[in-house]
Structure 1
Amino acid sequence: MSIEITQLAKRFGQTNVLRGIDLKVEKGELVALLGPSGSGKTTLLKIIAGLEWPDAGGLHVDGIDWLQLAAKDRRIGFVFQHYALFPHMKVRDNLAFGLTVGPRAARPGKDVIRAKVDELLQFLQIPHLADRFPTQLSGGQKQRVALGRALAITPNVLLLDEPFGALDAAIRRDLRRWLRDVHEATGSTTIFVTHDQEEAFELADRVVVMGDGQIEQIGTADQIHDHPASPFVARFMGATVELPVHLQAGRPTADGLDLTALTRRPLPDGAATLFARPQDITPQPDPAGAWRVTRRSSTGAQLRLLLTHPTLGEVEADLPRRDAPEGLVPGAPSRLRIAAGTIFATTAHHRSATASAAQPIPRKESHL
C-alpha cells in the first residue's frame, strides 16, 4: 500500500516535534527514518500507526484518510525495540495472538490459525522454538517472534521502531540481512526507525534523514553520503571537519589546503564552509605548511593524526597507514589535501523550522 503524508505537524507542550512533514512511500517500498534522538522519527511512526495524533496535516494510505480510522482499523503490524512478547505464552501462541483477538465474525477458525502459525514458524526459520516461552529465547530469536506476530495478520503496513537496537552488533548484522529477505518475500510496505546509518543504508530502498522534527534529505546511501543537502546532514554523515574557504567562480580556495580534487560548485562567490570527513583528508609534508602534526596514533591498519593550524584550529585525519606519506611525525609542517567534501555558502539560509499553518485535525475519540 502507498502512504502519502502531507504537512504533518505535532507539538508536545511548547516543543514542536514534527514541523510540516511531507513524505510519500510507494507500495512495497522499504523506507528508513534515520536521525538522532529527538528528531521526531518515532512520533511520525506512531502517528502512522494511530498511537499518536497530529495537530495538523494529512495521512492517506491508498487514497484512504487514515486520520479518520481508529488504530485497530488500520491493520498495522508494529514491531517494538523490546519485543513486547507475552511472557506467559509460548512462541506458537504469541504468533497466533493477533489472529485470535479480532472481531468474532472475521476471526479465522482454529485450524486456519494453526496452519498460519506453522507457516510462519517455517518462514521465520524457528519451528524448533514453537513450544518455548520468551524467557527461553535469545534476543535475536525474540525479535524474529515479534516480527512474526506482526506479519501474522497480513498487515497493510509494517512498522518497526529500532527493531534491532537491543541486540549486539553481530546479531544485528545477521538479522537485518534476514529482514531484507523477509521484506522481499512478503512485498509489504515497510517503514522502520533507526539511528544507525549502516543499518538504514543496508536495509532500505530509500533513507529519510530527519533532524529537529523536519526531513532534511531523502535519497539512497550514495546520494546522501556524497551529496548531503544541509550542514546538519553533512555532520550527521560524519563530516566532522569544518574549514572556512573562499569561492571564486565555483572553485574553493584556502590557505594551507589543496582543494584541486574538488569539483566546481554552483554557489555564489564569497565565504563558504567546507565539510569533510577525516578519511578524506591526507596531510602532505611541506616545509612551508602552516599545519603541524600534534598527535599521531596507529590502529595497525589506520594512521590517525591530529593537526593544528594557528588560526583554523584542529583537524583530524584518518588514512591507511601503508599509504601515508613519509615524515608525518609530531611537529612536522604539513599541507592538507582534501579528496572529497561538501561546501555550503556561509550566507546560505537554512529553511525555516516553522510548523505547518494547516488547520488543526479533530481528534478521533476512539483512535486507540
Structure 2
Amino acid sequence: MSITIENMTKSFGSTAVLRGIDLTVESGELVALLGPSGSGKTTLLKIVAGLEWPNSGGLNVNGQDWLGLAAQDRRIGFVFQHYALFPHMTVRDNIAFGLTVRPRAERPGKSVIAAKVEELLHFLQIAHLGDRYPAQLSGGQRQRVALGRALAIQPTVLLLDEPFGALDAAVRRDLRAWLRRVHEETGSTTIFVTHDQEEAFELADRVVVMGEGRIEQIGNADQIHDHPASPFVARFMGATIELPVVLSAGRAEAPGLDAGRLPRRALPDGPATLFLRPADITPVADPSGRWQVSRCTSNGAILRLELTDGAQTIPVDLPRRALEAKGLERGARVILRPETAAIFPGPRPSQAASAATELPRKEKAQ
C-alpha cells in the first residue's frame, strides 16, 4: 500500500503544527519520522490513522482518498508507546480483539480467529504467554502483544508511535532488530515515529527529519549525517559547534582555522557558518595558535578537550592514543583542523550583524 501526502497543513488554534507536508511512502517500505518534540511527527501519524484531520492537503493510499474515510474504515494497525492493552483480557484475547469486534458480516469464525492468534503468538515468539494478563508481562513482552493485536487485522498500513519509548536501552535494542525482521517477513507498509536517531537509522529504509512542522530532509543515515540539508538538521545530528567563517572561492577561512582538508563548496563568497561535531576536529599544537586548551579529561579511550579563544568555548573529542593528542594539556595553544564539516551561507542566528562584517577585516589583518 503506497501512501501519498500532499501539501498537508494542520493548526491547533493559532499554532501551526504541519506547514505543507509532501511525502510518498512506497508499498512495503518502512519510513521513520524523526524529530524533536513539537516537530509535528505524531500529528502527521494521527492524520494517516484518521485520529486527527488536517486543515488542508491530500492523503491517498493506493489511489484512494483516505480523508473521506473514517478511522475504522482504513484498517490501520496502530502501536502506541504505552501499549494500550486491555488489562482484564489475556494475551490471546488482546490479540484477537480487532477481529472479534468487526461487524458480524465481516467477522471471521471463532476457529479462524483462534488459528490466527496462535499463528501470531508463535510468529512474535510469545506462544508461552498466551494465557497471561498484561500485568504479568515485562515491557518488551507487552509491546510484542500490542504489535500482535495490530497485525491480527492484517492492516493496510502499520503505524508505530514511539513504540519502544517506555523501555530500557537493552530491551529497545533487541526489539528494534526483532521489529525489522517482522517488517521484512510481513511486507507491510510502515510509518514509525521516533526522536531517537539510532532507532530511526537502524530500522528504517528512509528517514524523514522533521522540524517545526516541516520536512527538513529525507535520506538514509550516511546522507543525513554527512550532508545535512539545513542548519536545523546539522544541529539535530549533533553538529553543536558553530564557527563563523568567510567563504572565499569555495574555501572556509577564519583566524586559527586550517580548513585545507574540507572540499571546496559551490557557495557564494561572504560570511558563512561552519557546523562541526566534537569528533570532527583535530587540534594541532601551535605556540601562536588562536585557541587554548582550558580543560583536558580522559575516559581511557577518548581525550575530551575544551578549547577557548576568550569569546567561545568548544568541546573536542579525539582518540587518547592519536598522534595529535601528544602534548595536549591544559594551557597548550592550538589551531583547529576540521576533518569534515557542514557549511551554510550567512552568520549564525545569534551573531550580531556587525560580527559578520568584522570577520573579513580581521582576516585581512592576519
| Fold agreement, TM-score > 0.5 | yes
Counterpart AA for 1:280: D
The match for 2:19 is 19
Q: Trace 1:336-351 onto structure 2 (pairs within 5 A).
A: 336-346=336-346
- Alignment check: 8 A CA contact 1:208 1:217 kept: yes
Cα deviation 1:127-180 (Å, max 9, x = unaligned)? 000000000000000000000000000000000000000000000000000000
- Alignment check: 8 A CA contact 2:248 2:269 kept: yes
Cα deviation 1:329-364 (Å, max 9, x = unaligned)? 111111111000000000799xxxxxxxxxxxxxxx
Alpha-carbon shift at residue 310 of structure 1 (Å): 3.1
Q: 1:343 aligns to what SS in structure 2? A: strand
- Alignment check: 8 A CA contact 1:246 1:252 kept: yes
- 2:243 matched to 1:243? yes
User: Whose RCO is larger (CA < 8 A, sep 6+)?
Assistant: 1
The match for 1:122 is 122
Query: Which segments of structure 1 move beyond 3 Å, counting only runs of 4 or more?
Result: none
Q: Trace 1:121-270 onto structure 2 (pairs within 5 A).
A: 121-270=121-270
The match for 1:359 is none
- Alignment check: 8 A CA contact 2:318 2:325 kept: no
> How many Å separate the matches in 1 of 2:28 and 2:254?
47
The match for 1:272 is 272
The match for 1:360 is none
CA 1:287–1:275: 2 relative to 1, 3 Å: same
> How many Å separate the matches in 2 of 1:82 and 1:115?
27
The match for 1:54 is 54
> How many Å separate the matches in 2 of 1:252 and 1:222?
23
The match for 1:321 is 320
> How many Å separate the matches in 1 of 2:257 and 2:207?
33
Cα deviation 1:266-311 (Å, max 9, x = unaligned)? 1001110000000111111110101000011111111101000134
The match for 2:353 is none
> How many Å separate the matches in 2 of 1:185 and 1:294?
54
> How many Å separate the matches in 2 of 1:237 and 1:170?
22
Q: 2:202 aligns to what SS in structure 1? A: helix
- Alignment check: 8 A CA contact 1:285 1:325 kept: no
Alpha-carbon shift at residue 325 of structure 1 (Å): 2.4
The match for 2:81 is 81
List alignment gaps of at least 5 residues for structure 2. Answer: 350-366
> How many Å separate the matches in 1 of 2:232 and 2:292?
29
> How many Å separate the matches in 2 of 1:262 and 1:162?
37
- Alignment check: 8 A CA contact 2:7 2:20 kept: yes
> How many Å separate the matches in 1 of 2:320 and 2:170?
27
Q: Trace 1:273-288 onto structure 2 (pairs within 5 A).
A: 273-288=273-288
Counterpart AA for 1:287: P
Counterpart AA for 2:52: E
> How many Å separate the matches in 1 of 2:54 and 2:161?
18
Alpha-carbon shift at residue 263 of structure 1 (Å): 0.6
- Alignment check: 8 A CA contact 1:10 1:19 kept: yes
> How many Å separate the matches in 2 of 1:221 and 1:262?
21
> How many Å separate the matches in 1 of 2:330 and 2:120?
60
> How many Å separate the matches in 1 of 2:175 and 2:152?
19
> How many Å separate the matches in 1 of 2:318 and 2:197?
21
Instruction: Please give the TM-score of this superposition, normalised by the length of structure 2.
Output: 0.94
Cα deviation 1:95-142 (Å, max 9, x = unaligned)? 000010011001000000000000000000000000000000000000
The match for 1:293 is 293
Q: 1:122 aligns to what SS in structure 2? A: helix
- Alignment check: 8 A CA contact 1:290 1:310 kept: no
Count of aligned positions:
348
> How many Å separate the matches in 2 of 1:86 and 1:138?
15
CA RMSD in angstroms, aligned pairs only:
1.1
List alignment gaps of at least 5 residues for structure 1. Answer: 350-368
Counterpart AA for 1:267: L
Counterpart AA for 2:129: L
The match for 1:366 is none
- Alignment check: 8 A CA contact 1:217 1:224 kept: yes
> How many Å separate the matches in 2 of 1:284 and 1:250?
23
Identical aligned pairs, as a percentage?
Answer: 74
